[in-house]
Amino acid sequence: AQSVAQPEDQVNVAEGNPLTVKCTYSVSGNPYLFWYVQYPNRGLQFLLKYITGDNLVKGSYGFEAEFNKSQTSFHLKKPSALVSDSALYFCAVRDNWNYGGSQGNLIFGKGTKLSVKP
Amino acid sequence: DAGVTQSPTHLIKTRGQQVTLRCSPISGHKSVSWYQQVLGQGPQFIFQYYEKEERGRGNFPDRFSARQFPNYSSELNVNALLLGDSALYLCASSLLPRQGPNSSYEQYFGPGTRLTVT
C-alpha cells in the first residue's frame, strides 16, 4: 500500500535561516509526490509536485523539494524562511490505481507544523 | 476565477443526526473528491466522483454517502453522526479522475466545512 511518513511533528526555524521539512514515501511503481500547505482555518494549498524529470522541483513561494529515489525521500526546502511561512505542511503521494489503489487520490502524511520565529 | 467553494463553513450537530455538506468545483473541473481531516491528522480520502459516478471510495462506513450533480457540484451526506465524525471535511476538484499514468493529477482544495458533533 502507498504511504508517506513525516517524521517531525514540528520544525522550528529562525527567520532568514534555511528550512527543511522531511518526508519519506513507500509506493508500488513510480511515485507521484506532492507538498501542500495549510494555514489556520483554511483548506490545503498546492505548493509543488514531482512526477518525472529533475530531482529538484521548484514550487510556489520560494519552496523547492528534492526527490531522492534511493532514500525514498521528498524533503521540502526553502533557502530563507519567513515568519509568514509558519503553517502546517503536508506531504502526499498519489494512490496508484495500477496497483489496486483508489482512482488516483491522494494519501497524506500526518503533517509537520512549521514555526518561524523573528 | 472562483476556486473550490464549500458550504456551510461551520456546522454543529448532535449524535444520531444527519448532515449534508456541499461543494462546487472549479469551473471546468469534472471530478470531485471528499476528504476527512481529523484534528492533528492529515486528510483521509472518502469518495471520488466523476460524471455523477462514484470512481473511488476510501475506508469509511456506509453511513457516509455522496453524489454528484450534472453541473459537477457534489454533496457529502453522513447519517447517524458519531462524536468521532467531528472533523474538517475538505472537497477537492480536478479536471479528470485520472489523467493517465504520466499526468500530475493536481487536486485543488476548498476551505472545508468544520463539523462538530456533540
Are B104 and A110 a contacting pair at CB < 8 A?
Answer: no
Q: Determine, for residues A104 and B4 on separate chains, whether the beta-carbon distance falls below 8 Å.
A: no
Q: Which chain A residues are within 8 Å of B45, Cβ to Cβ?
A: 95, 102, 105-107
Average model confidence (pLDDT) across chain B? 90
pLDDT per position as a tens digit, A4-21:
999 999 999 999 999 999
| Whether residue B72 has pLDDT greater than 60 | yes
Cβ–Cβ contact B60 with A under 8 A:
no
C-alpha cell at A3: 504511504
The answer to whether A49 contacts B104, with C-beta atoms less than 8 Å apart, is: yes
Closest Cα to residue A66, out of A48, A86, A84, A85?
Answer: A48
* pLDDT for B1 beyond 90: no
Report pLDDT for B97: 58
- What pLDDT is attached to residue B79? 97
Phi, psi of B28 (to 5 degrees): 95, -15
Nearest to A18 by CA among A58, A71, A69, A76: A76
| Cβ distance of A94 and B41 shorter than 8 Å | no
Say whether pLDDT at A115 is over 90: yes
**High-pLDDT (> 90) share of chain A, %:** 75
